[in-house]
Amino acid sequence: MAVRQRGGVGKRPRQRVHGEEREAEKAPIKSKRSNTIALGLLVFMGLLVLASFRSHYNLPAPNLERDGNQFSSLNARRHLKAITSLGIRHAGSEANDIKTKELLVSIIEEIKDSSSPEVSIETSVQHPSGHFYLDFLGGMTHIYENLTNVVVRLKGAGKSPKHSLLVNCHFDSALGSPAASDDAVSCAVLLETLRVLSASPSPYLLKHSVIFLFNGAEEMILPAAHGFITQHEWAGQVRAFLNLEAAGAGGKEILFQTGPKHPWLAAAYSRSVPYPHASVVAQEIFQSGVIPSDTDFRIFRDHGGVPGIDMAFFVNGYVYHTQYDTADRIPDGSIQRAGENILALIKEIANSDLLADPGEDRHGKVVYYDVLGLFVVQYPERLGLILNYGTLVLGLVGLWFSGKRRRGESSSSYKLIFLSIPVVLVSIFTGLLCSLVSGLVTTATGNTLSFFSRPYLVIPLYYTPTLLGTGAVHYWWRNRYSTISAEQLDRALLNSNQLILWIFLLSLTLLRLASACLPFTLLFFSLLFRSFIWDNMLRFRIGPTYFSSPLSPFIICYTLCTVLSLLPVVLLVVFAIGISELFIPLMGRAGAVVSSDVLMSIVSGFTATLVFFNFIPPIVYHSTKQFLRYLSLFLSSFWLLSLLLAAAGLLFPYSGVEPVRPKRFYLQHSHINNHEEPGASFSGIYIHTFDYREMAPLLDYVPKLKEAKEVQCKGVYCGMPSYFPISHMLKRNWFLSAGPPPGASSKLVLESVKKTSSNSRNYTFIGRFPPNARLHLQPLPGYSLLSWSLESFIPPVTPYGDEGLGCYYIMYTRGNGGGETKLWIEVKGDIDVSPVLEVSLISVYINPPSSTSDELQQLLSLLPSWVSTISWTSVMDNMTF
Where residue 702 sits, what CATH number does that domain have?
Answer: 2.60.40.10
C-alpha–C-alpha distance, residues 263 and 272, integer Å: 15
Give DSSP secondary structure letters for 508-537: HHHTT-GGGHHHHHHHHHHIIIIIIIIIII
Do residue 587 and residue 439 come from a single domain?
A: yes
Question: Annotated active-site positions, please?
Answer: 218
C-alpha–C-alpha distance, residues 308 and 306, integer Å: 7
Q: CA 817 from chain center: how many Å?
A: 37
Do residue 316 and residue 447 come from a single domain?
A: no
- 394 belongs to a structural domain: yes
- 656 belongs to a structural domain: no
Q: What is the pLDDT of residues 279-307, one digit of tens each?
A: 999 999 999 888 878 999 999 999 999 99
Q: CA 356 from chain center: how many Å?
A: 32
**91: exposed, middle or buried (C-beta count within 10 Å: 0-12, 13-18, 19+)?**
buried
How large is the average pLDDT for residues 223-250?
A: 97
- With contact defined as beta carbons under 8 Å apart, do 651 and 595 qualify? no
Q: What is the pLDDT of residues 488-500, one digit of tens each?
A: 888 889 999 999 9
Do residue 758 and residue 642 come from a single domain?
A: no
Q: Domain end: 620, 647, 674, which one?
A: 647
- 49 belongs to a structural domain: no
Confidence of residue 659 (pLDDT cuts 50, 70, 90): very high
Do residue 556 and residue 693 come from a single domain?
A: no
**371: exposed, middle or buried (C-beta count within 10 Å: 0-12, 13-18, 19+)?**
middle
Do residue 329 and residue 458 come from a single domain?
A: no
Percent of the chain having pLDDT more than 70? 93
Q: What is the pLDDT of residues 484-527, one digit of tens each?
A: 888 888 888 999 999 999 999 999 999 999 999 999 999 999 99
pTM: 0.91
Position with higher pLDDT, 767 vs 465? 465
CB atoms closer than 10 angstroms to residue 446: 12
C-alpha–C-alpha distance, residues 256 and 260, integer Å: 13
- 178 belongs to a structural domain: yes
Do residue 284 and residue 427 come from a single domain?
A: no
Do residue 716 and residue 581 come from a single domain?
A: no
- With contact defined as beta carbons under 8 Å apart, do 413 and 492 qualify? yes
- With contact defined as beta carbons under 8 Å apart, do 704 and 651 qualify? no
- 2 belongs to a structural domain: no
Do residue 334 and residue 432 come from a single domain?
A: no
C-alpha–C-alpha distance, residues 208 and 362, integer Å: 18
Do residue 248 and residue 189 come from a single domain?
A: yes
pLDDT of residue 606: 96
Do residue 344 and residue 393 come from a single domain?
A: no
Q: What is the pLDDT of residues 142-201, one digit of tens each?
A: 999 999 999 999 998 878 789 999 999 999 999 999 999 999 999 999 999 999 999 866
- 45 belongs to a structural domain: no
pLDDT of residue 66: 83
Do residue 671 and residue 535 come from a single domain?
A: no
Give DSSP secondary structure letters for 587-599: TTSS-SSS-HHHH
**126: exposed, middle or buried (C-beta count within 10 Å: 0-12, 13-18, 19+)?**
buried
- 476 belongs to a structural domain: yes
Q: What is the pLDDT of residues 53-95, one digit of tens each?
A: 999 999 999 998 888 889 999 999 999 999 999 999 999 999 9
pLDDT of residue 541: 67
Which is nearest to 185 in space by CA: 199, 195, 170?
170
Q: Look at residue 151 and give its three-state secondary structure.
A: strand
Q: What is the residue range of 838's domain?
A: 662-881
Do residue 736 and residue 864 come from a single domain?
A: yes
Q: Into how many domains does the chain fold?
A: 3
C-alpha–C-alpha distance, residues 767 and 770, integer Å: 10
For position 185, which CATH number holds?
Answer: 3.40.630.10
- 7 belongs to a structural domain: no
